Amino acid sequence: MIEFKEVYFKYPFEDTYALKNINIRISKGECVFIMGSNGAGKTTLIKHINGILKPTKGEVWVNGKNTKNFTVAELSKIVGIVFQNPDHQIFASSVYEEVAFALRNFKFDEKYIENKVNETLKFFSLEKYKEASPLFLSGGEKKRVTIASVVCYEPEILVLDEPTVGLDLKQRKNLVNLINELKKMNKTIIVVTHDIDFAIELANRVIIMNEGEVLKEGSISDIIYDEETLRKANLIQPIIPQVVTKLKLSISSKKIITIEDFLTNLEIILKNVKT
């Protein structure tokens, strides 16, 4: 479980707080999406989970451990973070070595590393690039390598920062499948994204941030029908909630999130529109 208790954070030499009075609790096995405009404090928030940043005030607890008392290396065994820009991570001479990097740092034995890396490369369809330099892969492939290099050591908590950027439709579907698989394994998933459709597909809960504060917390249906919150967070309302809102239906609109929901309720919607 992850718990932020009245967390404030200020970068050294900055005058304003990047995080203000953050109180969040994320249970084991939850899939939480953190959304908000640029500079809202999303990345600063996730850097607290594995102790890269320590709170200026307040406490962050991960699986009963106060992050102030543990090193990043110790917390990283529990929390795997995949950062937004793959170029900030990739350095090894081959994709195999890149994926094996964290496993070697955590001192797994070589036989286990070999099996685990091969298994992960297969899952991410990266086997053919096993010996290739990751520096010369395409943007989407690099992204997959970076996700694979964290997923391979099976952290209990997986944090993904803007994972859909640079992925084509097929790779995005693979990512959705991967997250669904991890959810089945009861892993805790935290995703930072601007991609609201991605949240619709996967989120158990959404946290909207604005100017270092939590603006709203709720289910995806609560969020996508809250035009005011979406406007403040600079997020575009998806097309289905837009249509439903414009039609001013008397039925519980919050049940209509996807195109499938819309089609299922089409008869009721049409009846509503006629009356």
Partner 1 sequence: MLRPENFIYRPKDTVIHRLDPRSKFYYAFLMLVLAILTIDFNLLLLLLLFTLFPILLGKILKQVLKAIQSSLFFLALIFIINFIFSLNVILALALVIRFLILIISFLAFSLTTSIDDIALSFYKLRFPYDFVLALTLAYRFIPTLFKDAVNIVDAQRSRGLETQKGNLIKRVKNFMPVIIPLLVVAIRRALNVAEAMESRCFGASKRPTNYYELKIKFGDILLFVASTILFIIVLAEILGLVKIAIV
Residues making contact with partner 1 (CB under 8 A): 12-13, 47, 50, 52, 71-73, 76-77, 79-81, 83, 85, 87-92, 101-102, 105-106, 135, 149-150
**Of 8, 3, 123, which Cα lies nearest the Cα of 66?**
3
Burial environment of residue 245 by CB neighbours within 10 A (0 to 12, 13 to 18, 19 or more) = middle
What is the nearest approach in angstroms of partner 1 to the Cβ of residue 147? Answer: 12
Nearest-approach distance from CB 173 to partner 1, in angstroms: 26
Q: CB nearer to partner 1: give 44 or 253.
A: 44
CB of 81 to partner 1, least distance (A): 4
Q: Are strands 188-192 and 157-161 parallel, antiparallel or unpaired?
A: parallel
> From CA 165, how far away is CA 186, in angstroms rounded?
25
Of residues 97 and 222, the one with the C-beta less far from partner 1: 97
Q: How far is the CB of 19 from partner 1 (least distance, A)?
A: 16
Q: 133: which residues sit within 8 A by CB, 6+ positions away?
A: 93, 94, 95
Q: Which is nearer to partner 1, 104 or 170 (CB)?
A: 104
Packed helices 95-105 and 139-151: angle between N→C axes, nearest 10 degrees: 30
**Least spacing, CB of residue 18 vs partner 1, in Å:** 14
The residue among 16 and 252 lying less far from partner 1, judged by its C-beta, is 16
Cα-Cα-Cα-Cα dihedral of 232, 196, 192, 90, to 10°? -130
| Pairing mode, strands 31-36 and 205-210 | parallel
| Ramachandran class of 133: left when φ > 0, alpha when ψ lies in -120 to 50, beta otherwise | beta
Min CB(2)–partner 1 separation in Å: 15
- Running DSSP on this structure, what letter comes out for residue 187? -
Identity of the residue, 11 or 131, whose beta carbon is nearer to partner 1 in the bound complex: 11
Nearer to partner 1, 159 or 223 (CB): 159
